[in-house]
Chain A
Amino acid sequence: MDIKSKNTDNETEEITNKSEQTTKQTAFDEDNSPPPAGSIRYKLSAKWIRVVMFIISAVLTAYALTAIQALSCCEYVWDIEAAVMGDEQPARKQSSTSSAQVSKSEINSLYNDLCIVASQVLRYDSIGKWDTYKRTIFKNEINNVIALNGKVYFEEDGPREFVVNDDRYDYYVGFGSSYYTNISGLTSSSGYDDIAAKLESDDVYYIRLYNKIYKGGKSQSRINYYDGDAAAYSENLPLGSSYYDEETAAHIFCYNNLGYFDTVFEDEDSLTGRFTYTDDEGNTYANPPMYKLGSRYVYSEKLDKTLQKLNDSGITVAIGLRPQISKAAGSEKLTPDEQINLSKFITISLFPTGAVLFIIIIMLMVRCGYNRDTGTFTPSKWLDKRFTAELFFITACAALVGAGILMNSLNGEIDIAFGQKNIVFFLSYALGIFLLWIIGFGSVLVLLRKLKSRTLFTTSAVIKLIGFTVKGIADVIHKGENRLSVSAYNKLTVARKMLVRNLIFAAATAIAIIFLMVAVFENWDEYDNIMIVGVYETFYFVYFIWYFLSSIDYFHDSDKLCRKIDTIGTGEKYTGEPMSKTSAFFEPFKVLDTLDERIKTQAEEMVKSERTKVELVTNVSHDLKTPLTSIISYTYLLSKEDMSDEAKDYVAVLQQKTEKLKSIVNDVFTLAKAASGAEVKSEQLDLAMLVNQTVASNADIIDKSGISVKTQIPDKPVFIIGDGDKLSRVFQNLLDNALKYSLDGTRVFIDMTVGKRAEVAFKNTSKDEMNFTAEEITERFTRGDKSRTDGGSGLGLSIAKTFTEACGGDFRIELEGDMFKAIAEFDLMPEDDEEQEEKPESLL
């Protein structure tokens, strides 16, 4: 079908491309596109065609297999080679029978056992009545020796009830007057001729009389033994030959067939040759030896001993393969000509049958499940979707096994049926094959269909079961973890995990040491205790190795963590390897990651917002200063004009106020910039000198104010880190403030004390009552008198506080009665740096 459709591919492709748009949408490749309705390809894709082909395949298979079976029954087959070469002579074919399946070793081991039976069991059978106990032991030992292939064994009861459990053989075994056989008409006195005549086998037979061995039949090569005189092969002891060792008083016999190196003798010291036995009633019997698997002597070693040879002349063993039933029935009812004609027909017909069958099978496997309307492979609703894939797999296997059983078990019958020309038998045989094929091949096709439509695994019960099991196990493990507080351990912080780890390690180590010490000093020699110590020490060793390795991991991971912290501190990028997810440090590491990110984004945002703030301040400053410039300029010009005294006063006021406005504007922007944290320098400076400089540079103002300033400042330099310009502004403002609001005639005290920090205090006595709090006064635009009439912007203390804090100091106001105290505190510079400062001084 597919082959044919390929021939028409060129036509259909054109049609496909021209006709439907839907084709293009679904056309991932040419094979998947549905053929246009009405085309040859479409017609050939019909499902019923595949069904018919499937049935045809079953019929052909049934025919082929049945024909092959029939062919195997033919004794005279048509020889293809001969026919081709023009030679019409029929070739006789060796038909396969079940007798051919009897292996060489099987025959040999049966012969082996029968020889032992003759030499040992039947020899002593004639000695007399055994006591039950001894007989049981004897039989057990003999069973041990001979029951190698399970075909010969003793039954529990009776004196000599041994069984040859294989009806494919004719056998005879005897010693003296005792014998056992499944051939009728033989007696204890039967000789070779009698036995050979009674054995029905034409295939293979084997007879031993004492050490004389005869073999015969068509397949006598399947017997290992030499024929002729067994004793002539001096290196070997004849199988079953018996001896009595007087030295050790042991009864000995040979039970291996090719014994030079491995011929083994049995002895039993306790036997001491007690060959007579007296029962309770006083009757004396000959006592058979007791066999036990005692010491074994290699034949060659024991030859120098005086071994008393026992009489083996009574041994008689014969085996013959029974002819098969098929042969009894014979295939002679079909003449050779008929057989040759039949085989000729079958052989010739098998070639086209096989070829067609092959094509159909391949085609069906490729095209099964194809839906010509959608161009895809779809599973059938009533079969594929209802049952799991495993079911079809099982049915396929079952069909295969069924076919095997059918072919094997009817082997014999088929020969008979062939001979009897039993058509009904062959038809039913073919029907069986047909049904098995339908089931087996059908299952294979269903599986293929599932595979193609991607439903094999989704419908598979095993997959579902595995999924279910895995989920179940995961659930159980999860619950177990909760219960075993493993998850509780995982929730611990790293430090606690380490603690738990180390505690466990310490405990385990302590126990290991104590165990060792106890074992050494207490001289423990009890096996159990030593075992416990050994097992524990082994476990401890493994644990120690694990602990050691995981400690290295801990070390590496904590090292990583520290490096990560370092990079966060320095603001660099972490370039080390990432933390593995299984590490105990994974969580902290992750937290650090987020922290790092957050710090960076925050820093960026801060920088951005500061920049906008500074820009804003700058712009507003420009916008305010430009008109102010004009005002100041024109006021100045105005003051130069000729005008009335009154007008001159007005202009003076204008000038005063513009000056004030100027200072306010400047202060406001200074403050705004300081508050935004922009442009604060960090330099080393001498706070003592700074305060001195401030006071000194204001000497004229101080003189004018009429208020004296008392300073108490250390002679030694007091080094701090700060911005000199800003701090000078701080003290300038504090000094201005003190001078402005001090009561006339009072003193301003400037004290500097150096303890843990450097502290500068400005103290003055207020001329007005201070009706405000320390907090209020540092607020912007708050003034002591709240009137805001005289000079100053009201920002002085605000600026002082802001600048002090910008330089890393603390600023506070203390009020006590009329005492106003402004205190600025700064961290001292570390001692080390102070020494560095001294160097330039020493150079001077």
Chain B
Amino acid sequence: MENTQTVLVVDDDRDIVSAIGKLLTDEGLNVLKAYDGLEALDTIATKQVELLIIDVMMPKLDGLSALMKIRQNNNIPVIVLSAKSEDTDKILGLSMGADDYITKPYNPLELIARVKANLRRYLTLGSAAASPARHGVITVGGLELDKETKSLTADGKKCTLTATEYKIIELLMSNAGRVFSAEEIYQRVWREDAYAVENTVMVHIRHIREKIEINPKEPRYLKVVWGVGYKIEKY
């Protein structure tokens, strides 16, 4: 099945396109290449593409404009690959319809992981999402928590969680976007008085991250709100 998946890589730097192409081809993906926004639009219009990796700063038509055009009649996953690393840039890119945002210089392994995760979600979970919402299932972005089976899926990949980890992620996902302090998490999960629990909670958080995040150092889902607490980013 994976052999038939096609990824379109768009960047005005031919070396980068070629490098990414090689990385993905090695992973068994079919790669198409384009070097500006217009070319990317042409390719998408004429060929079957399952995933798009697009740079922002490009000649003729920049990545975000091209993204907006593509999004008018296409819902394939799009990863924006940009040298712009500011939060505002990321927020802008994501709000324009990107599914993921990777900054240059990227880690090749992370790139591969993200591409795979997005493909997985698009191809397998996309169909699941199409079916009516199941009872007891919480979905936040690529995270899917099934309360019945007490299981968590991250970008279509099943995660094995301990009981405490499950409780924490359930608490956070049920209140996606809300910030919980370490004490609060401790009180709610452990059901004990909290005293100097920062470390305990943080260790669990880190473990959860390692299981659900592609790059635990740059988490997409489970985030630290410094000086306030922890939260699951609401998508």
Contacts and interface: CB of A to CB of B under 8 A. Distances in A.
Interface of A: 618, 621-622, 625-626, 628-634, 636-637, 640, 658, 662, 666, 669, 679, 685-687, 689-690, 692-697, 699-700, 715, 722, 724-725, 727-728, 844
A707 B19 CA distance: 41
Contact of B227 (A622, A637, A640, A693): A693
Contacts of B195: 715
B40 to A, nearest CB: 18
A692 B198 contact: yes
Most buried by B among A618, A621, A625, A725: A625
Nearest to B195: A715
Given A637-B22, A724-B227, A725-B226, A626 B83 contact: yes
B179 to A, nearest CB: 10
B205 to A, nearest CB: 8
Contacts of A632: 105-108
Nearest to B200: A696
Nearest to A844: B184
Given A689-B181, A699-B202, A728-B224, 8 more contacts: A618-B84, A629-B13, A629-B83, A637-B19, A689-B228, A692-B199, A696-B199, A697-B224
Contact of A629 (B105, B201, B225): B105
Given A628-B104, A693-B202, A697-B202, A687 B19 contact: no
Sorted from nearest, which 10 A-B pairs have the closest CB atoms?
A685-B227, A696-B202, A724-B226, A633-B19, A690-B227, A692-B198, A728-B226, A636-B108, A625-B83, A629-B105
Contacts of A622: 57, 83-84
Interface residues on B, range: 35 or more
Contacts of B107: 632
Interface in B10-40: 13, 15-16, 19-20, 22-23, 26
Given A622-B57, A625-B104, A692-B198, A679 B86 contact: yes
A686 to B, nearest CB: 5
Given A637-B22, A692-B199, A686 B84 contact: no
A628 B107 CA distance: 11
Contact of A630 (B19, B181, B224): B19
Interface in B62-92: 83-88
A699 B226 contact: no
Nearest to A687: B227
A727 B108 CA distance: 29
B145 interface: no
A17 to B, nearest CB: 68
B176 interface: no
B232 interface: no
Most buried by A among B16, B20, B83, B206: B83
Given A637-B19, A693-B226, A695-B199, A666 B85 contact: yes
Contacts of A621: 83, 85
Given A625-B105, A685-B228, A690-B226, A630 B23 contact: no
A120 to B, nearest CB: 124
Given A629-B104, A634-B19, A637-B19, A685 B199 contact: no
B203 interface: yes
A634 B106 CA distance: 12
B182 interface: yes
B23 A636 contact: yes
Interface string B208-223: 0000000000000000
A686 B16 CA distance: 43
Contacts of B196: 715
B229 interface: yes
A629 B181 CA distance: 37
Nearest to A697: B202
Contacts of B83: 621-622, 625-626, 629
Most buried by A among B20, B83, B227: B227
B183 to A, nearest CB: 9
A662 B87 CA distance: 18
B181 A700 contact: no
